[in-house]
């Protein structure tokens, strides 16, 4: 079965072709980062308009690249939620219209399920059950995954998402949007730092996160250094370093707690912050000490992409799921409400 995946939930237009025999055939992502950068964040209306302009040419280029055409498609998967409503509508409308015109089934995919299952696209894929750490610009969640669609929420952020905190602190440091990768690069230039920023909510039991206090701590810290006329390249890099350490330590400790609590040995890290090298290195080392293993999607599939949507859509279409023609998208969509395959 050959399935076209379409992702338009936020600021990346992603398209991909997945085949049940051949695996992932090809995928393409068009990033809107440059479009939103002057505003310091995603402007929803601009995002929708840009998806509208880019998505069809991107699909045409993808098909041309692998010398295929629309008539070969046997199914379509699009991101139905969560995300920006106008942006979601672009993929939903196109996916459904194409499916109707081609007379093939279409399915709406949960964006975060896409992130969570993206590591299953690798050769050395994790098996169920596993704990999933979803860390993106909008989500910070720990889930227990026992089958495709069977997800139990173990904990989540009570305020900012980890990626959001990265982006906001990056902006305080004068780094361009989105900020997470730039902050990580700046932190890597720090030669020495013994500042210890707070590790939020570690003293409490449970698996919830909170990053808003750490963000405020960074703001007050920077203001103090500026008042003391001690704000320079070195203290700036040290602030980035101390912040990154605090976030990564918090994520690592909660992941280990979740594995212990569920007696599961596999952890899957997904979402944009999963591209963070220090997080990867810390999780790999610490989980090995507990005879556990961590899996990541390939770096290019950490951030938003159509491949993960095509893949999950294929699993769901194969299980007989599809949706009727209609206009609904789901800007908010709890993962625990998904159908188990
Ligand atoms: O999953 P994603 O591409 O989009 C959402 O669905 O939100 O995640 C984007 C988030 C942004 O906050 C970005 O700054 C963060 O992931 N991010 C990183 C890194 N690469 C991306 N944060 C820290 N370190 C990185 N290397
Ligand atoms: Zn995402």
* Position 299 confidence tier, pLDDT thresholds 50, 70, 90: confident
For range 251-263, the mean pLDDT: 97
Distance 277 CA to ligand 2 centre (A): 18
* Position 324 confidence tier, pLDDT thresholds 50, 70, 90: confident
Q: Ligand 1 pocket, 180 CB below 6 A?
A: yes
For ligand 1, what atom is nearest to the CA of residue 276? 26
* Position 85 confidence tier, pLDDT thresholds 50, 70, 90: very high
Residue nearest to atom 26 of ligand 1 (CA): 276
Q: Ligand 1 pocket, 275 CB below 6 A?
A: yes
Distance 14 CA to ligand 1 centre (A): 16
145-172 pLDDT, tens per residue?
A: 999 999 999 999 999 999 999 999 999 9
Q: What percent of the chain has pLDDT over 90?
A: 88
For ligand 1, what atom is nearest to the CA of residue 11? 4
Strands (E), the chain: 2-7, 12-19, 23-31, 75-81, 106-110, 130-135, 140-147, 150-156, 266-270, 293-295
Q: Measuring CA to CA, which residue among 151, 119, 134, 110 is closest to residue 321?
A: 110
Residue 177 pLDDT greater than 90, yes or no: no
Q: Ligand 1 pocket, 138 CB below 6 A?
A: yes
Q: Ligand 1 pocket, 149 CB below 6 A?
A: no
Residue nearest to atom 21 of ligand 1 (CA): 272
The whole-model pTM stands at: 0.90
Specify burial of residue 71 (Cβ count, 10 A radius: 0-12, 13-18, 19+).
exposed
Reading the block at residue 91, the tokens are 């993929």
CB 70 within 8 A of CB 40: no
143 three-state secondary structure: strand
């Amino acid at each position: 079965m050959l399935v076209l995946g379409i992702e338009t939930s936020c600021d990346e237009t992603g398209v991909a072709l997945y085949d049940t025999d051949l695996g992932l055939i090809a995928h393409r992502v068009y990033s809107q980062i440059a479009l939103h950068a002057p505003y310091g964040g995603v402007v929803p209306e601009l995002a929708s308009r840009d998806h509208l302009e880019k998505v069809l040419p991107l699909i045409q280029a993808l098909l041309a690249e692998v010398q295929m055409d629309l008539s070969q498609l046997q199914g379509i998967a699009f991101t139905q939620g969560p995300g920006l409503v106008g942006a979601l509508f672009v993929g939903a409308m196109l996916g459904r219209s194409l499916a109707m015109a081609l007379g093939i089934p279409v399915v709406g995919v949960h964006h975060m399920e896409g992130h969570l299952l993206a590591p299953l696209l690798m050769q050395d894929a994790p098996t169920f059950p596993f704990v999933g750490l979803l860390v993106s610009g909008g989500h910070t969640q720990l889930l227990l995954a026992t089958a495709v669609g069977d997800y139990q929420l173990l904990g989540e952020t009570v305020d900012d998402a980890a990626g959001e905190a990265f982006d906001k602190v990056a902006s305080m440091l004068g780094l361009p949007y989105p900020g997470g990768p730039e902050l990580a690069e700046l932190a890597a230039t720090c030669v020495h730092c013994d500042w210890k920023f707070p590790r939020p909510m570690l003293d409490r039991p449970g698996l919830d996160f909170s990053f808003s206090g750490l963000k405020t701590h960074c703001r007050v810290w920077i203001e103090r250094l500026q008042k003391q006329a001690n704000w320079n390249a070195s203290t700036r890099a040290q602030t980035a370093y101390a912040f990154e350490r605090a976030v990564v330590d918090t994520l690592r400790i909660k992941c280990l707690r979740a594995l212990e609590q569920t007696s599961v040995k596999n952890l899957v890290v997904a979402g944009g912050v999963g591209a963070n090298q220090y997080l990867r290195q810390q999780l790999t080392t610490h989980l090995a000490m507990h005879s556990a293993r961590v899996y990541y999607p390939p770096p290019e599939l950490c951030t938003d992409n159509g491949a993960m949507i095509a893949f999950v859509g294929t699993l769901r279409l194969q299980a007989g799921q599809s949706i009727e023609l209609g206009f609904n998208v789901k800007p908010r969509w709890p993962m625990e409400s998904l159908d188990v395959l």
